[in-house]
Structure 1
Amino acid sequence: MGSEESISRKHSCQHNQMKYKLKILMLIVLSNLLTIYIFTGPYSYMHYPISRFSQLSTSPVFDSTTLLLKLNSTRDELIASRSQIADLQKELRSAHSLVEELVVQLSRLNGAIDQASNPTKFTYNDLLDDVSDEAKLAIGPHKLPLGYTPRMGSDEVYSSVGGGCLKHKEDLRKYMSYQVGGECPVDDVFVQTLMLKGCEPLPRRRCHPKSPANYVEPTPLPESLWSIPPDSSLIWDPYTCKNYTCLVERRKAPGSYDCKDCFHLEGREKIRWLFDNGGLDYGIDQVLAMKPPGTIRIGLDIGGGSGTFAARMKEKNVTIVTTSMNFDGPFNSFIASRGLIPMHVSVSQRFPFFENTLDIVHSMHVLSNWIPDAMLEFTLYDIYRVLRPGGLFWLDRFFCFGSQLNATYVPMFDRVGFRRLRWNTGMKLDRGIDKNEWYFSAVLEKPMT
């Protein structure tokens, strides 16, 4: 029995040794196969040192020239890619800056929208941050003593002031600098300049204008319509001339002045609008005859100089308000001295009359091609607004170039909607026919319906 167990252990040991040898053999075979694959496969060149490429250049397995070309091509592509990446980074930085700026603008827009939708975030007082205390007090707003009133829809009242005033806050501060209750500065020229900048109407002031020395009572009507007032009737400080004699004689002086002979009442002013020549010059009687007697009663003269048109209409029992500016001359004071109504406003201001109220509106020379087209059209519509149905618009010697007459102004007047009662054109020849300068005069009617 002992011998059988010994034989059995011997066979078992031999069997184990055989299995071990087979494993070793399999490992060797696999190792050799792997080695052959590595050295003969598609990546075999990776295991050879660079020095071997020259020795194997004729080998069909790989081509070193092709490899180098591929490597160089790859390198070039990498360089190009890096350049593109750098460019993209620049574009991204630029886009980032643009996005940041867009975010800022959107924030501002959202803020403006919020302010518009919620007025409590932005008040009228915010516009007055940089103006003087006196200007703030004049412009308001002011709380109503009795509180909210449905008629006004508010518990506050605002003083009328031109938005242009807030564009010129330093000038506004200067205008509102004075001793409260004292004498106002003699600043007529500065005030008029501020008005022409769009600060119209101006805020009120709590001071007294300087009074003329030795003032006397005015000449009574009707003599005052055609008489020169005494020099003591006004303050001469703002003007080049210091008396009316100088103004009357200025018509003979060289240089250009606004309405140069307007103060010479015994000259051309004396015969204006008395005669109708059938052309550009219309007579008052002929124009008034276009309407039933007595139906032309009140009206407006735009830029009426020294008020002669109003004086002539006064003789016909028609009351005319004359707008005029004081361009180096006391035009408004002179109009008032004649017993007429002056209004110191520029042509750019909305006329301070309710719609459908005036019987006649007149303008000579002031409405012309010096006014921008859009502004002129707004003015014409405002004239249409204040005229009553059937009211007359007397346009006296409108100046323009021949190229503008039919291309610009005729269509503009037609758009406004006036009906032509009379229309005359004539060439202005004093500077030569080659200038192609024209006048046209017209009487236009606001339709009844």
Structure 2
Amino acid sequence: MDHCDGKSKKPPGKRRCRCTMTKLTMLLFVLTNSISVLLSSGAGAFLLRRYKPATIRLWDDSPALRADLNATQSALAASHVQLADLHARLGTANSLLQTLLAGMATQAAPAERQDAWWARELAGELKLGVVGSLPHRNVTGEVAAFPVLGFACVRFQDDLERYMNYMPGGECPSDESLAQHLMLKGCDPLPRRRCRPPSPLGHVQPLPLPKSLWAIPPDTSVVWDAYRCKNYSCLVHSVGEFDIRGREKSRWMRDDGALAYSIDGVLAARPNGTVRIGLDINGVSGTFAARMRERGVTVVTTSLNSGGPSGSFIASRGLVPMHVSPAHRLPFFDGTLDIVHWAAELAGGRPVADATLELALFDIYRVLRPGGLFWLDHFVFLVAQLNTTYAPMIDKVGFRKLRWNTGRKLNELSVSALLQKPMT
């Protein structure tokens, strides 16, 4: 059965061959068993021997003939019983065989459909990372946990095979850009790999808190081969969000009564001390999380290394980075966060597609606890669609508006809003 069920790891051709051989073997077994029963009963030979015309004399009324006829009658009755039993066994075996074949077809079909998703048969490290399973048992009694893989990975098998082409147990290739390409195309999460990322040369220990919150980390804290910039000085000057001693130093410190909200003003919307843990979506450098940490709030920052080594930069400040792509379901339990901050950088300063935004809003609503805050920060919408699409969408999700500000630029509107998940 293990060759024909849905969990088989054999290639489709071999699996179908084994299934066919299994069916033939079972049919031969039934036929052989039937013939054996018939022959072992001796009924056929006995009947042939007793019904030779030359030995039957109806006019002979001798005791020997009567005894012979009586014995023949008894043998015939026993043969009828044996044949009836054999017929019943054949019926049972046939029914069982039909059930087994139907079960194998049902179980094999999903595996064959899954194999058909890929342009080529999986092999090597890619097969190990996609097909393998781990023993696991939870309260529902499940006993296997399978690797998680983005559904769109099947559309980029060439790139995925390049990503999984490495020496097991050795050093991972420098392919950060390839990983980002796959994730942004929907191949997220990627399969696990059995290799070690290269360690930076001359690594030094980070500064202690709170000094590390506002210090540029040394260049030796990260391997730069995968990035356009080769040091933090270049990164600070080319990407404004990394300028934590300049532009970033004043962000969220002042409320201008319009689009710019202050952190202290937002925290004042809830009773003191009730905002404890939160999420900053695509915070790039982690400045929002640093400001919140100064106020006793723990914030996780989701990030992509598309513009530079954001994750390493955030971690060097003593903050928590999390590698999550824009379309990824937020990796938090329902109703656990006190605040979620989403700035315009997630959309690259451009309007977000309707379906993408709606799915994201519902996911944010899911992870917030009742009474939790959602801070929409300088988000960009098309003027023609704000009141017809996006504002009704926010109401549809169920948020309550505590504050709402807009600012127009050409045919676009920037929106900042402080929303709240209702208590009931």
- Indicate if the aligned counterparts of 2:342 and 2:377 stay in contact, CA closer than 8 A: yes
Instruction: Pick one of 120, 132, 144 that aligns with 1:156.
Output: 144
- Indicate if the aligned counterparts of 1:131 and 1:173 stay in contact, CA closer than 8 A: no
Q: Give, in angstroms, the shift of residue 426 of structure 1.
A: 1.5
- Indicate if the aligned counterparts of 2:134 and 2:146 stay in contact, CA closer than 8 A: no
Q: Deviations over 1:381-428 (max 9, x none)?
A: 000000000000000011122212211111111111100011111123
Q: Secondary structure at the match of 2:269?
A: coil
Paired position in structure 2 for 1:444: 419
Report the count of equivalent residues: 318
Q: Give, in angstroms, the shift of residue 153 of structure 1.
A: 4.2
Q: Distance in 2 between matches of 1:313 and 1:137?
A: 42
Q: Distance in 1 between matches of 2:388 and 2:411?
A: 14
Q: Identity over aligned residues, as a percent?
A: 55
In the alignment, does 2:412 pair up with 1:424? no
Instruction: Pick one of 374, 383, 386 that aligns with 2:355.
Output: 374
Larger deviation, residues 124-133 vs 391-400: 124-133
Paired position in structure 1 for 2:127: 136
The two structures have a TM-score, normalised by structure 1, of 0.67
Q: Deviations over 1:120-153 (max 9, x none)?
A: 42228735662232122122343638xxx57354
- Indicate if the aligned counterparts of 1:131 and 1:172 stay in contact, CA closer than 8 A: no
Q: Distance in 1 between matches of 2:219 and 2:134?
A: 45
- Indicate if the aligned counterparts of 1:427 and 1:439 stay in contact, CA closer than 8 A: yes
Paired position in structure 2 for 1:396: 377
In the alignment, does 2:387 pair up with 1:406? yes
Paired position in structure 2 for 1:212: 200
Q: Distance in 1 between matches of 2:126 and 2:266?
A: 46
Q: Distance in 2 between matches of 1:397 and 1:328?
A: 20
Q: Deviations over 1:207-258 (max 9, x none)?
A: 00010001010111110110000000000111111111112222xxxxxxxx
Q: Secondary structure at the match of 2:240?
A: coil
Change (3 A) 1:347 1:166: same
In the alignment, does 2:293 pair up with 1:300? no
Q: Distance in 2 between matches of 1:408 and 1:206?
A: 46
Unaligned segments of structure 1, at least 5 residues: 1-113, 251-259, 429-434
Q: Give, in angstroms, the shift of residue 341 of structure 1.
A: 0.7
Unaligned segments of structure 2, at least 5 residues: 1-101
Q: Give, in angstroms, the shift of residue 369 of structure 1.
A: 5.2
- Indicate if the aligned counterparts of 1:139 and 1:161 stay in contact, CA closer than 8 A: yes
Q: Give, in angstroms, the shift of residue 308 of structure 1.
A: 0.5
Q: Secondary structure at the match of 2:338?
A: strand
Question: Which structure ranks higher in relative contact order (CA pairs < 8 Å, sequence separation ≥ 6)?
Answer: 2
Q: Secondary structure at the match of 1:262?
A: helix
In the alignment, does 2:189 pair up with 1:196? no
The two structures have a TM-score, normalised by structure 2, of 0.71
- Indicate if the aligned counterparts of 2:351 and 2:382 stay in contact, CA closer than 8 A: no
Q: Give, in angstroms, the shift of residue 437 of structure 1.
A: 2.3
- Greater Rg over alpha carbons, structure: 1
Alignment of 1:157-306 (within 5 A): 157-250=145-238, 260-306=239-285
- Indicate if the aligned counterparts of 1:305 and 1:331 stay in contact, CA closer than 8 A: yes
In the alignment, does 2:328 pair up with 1:337? no
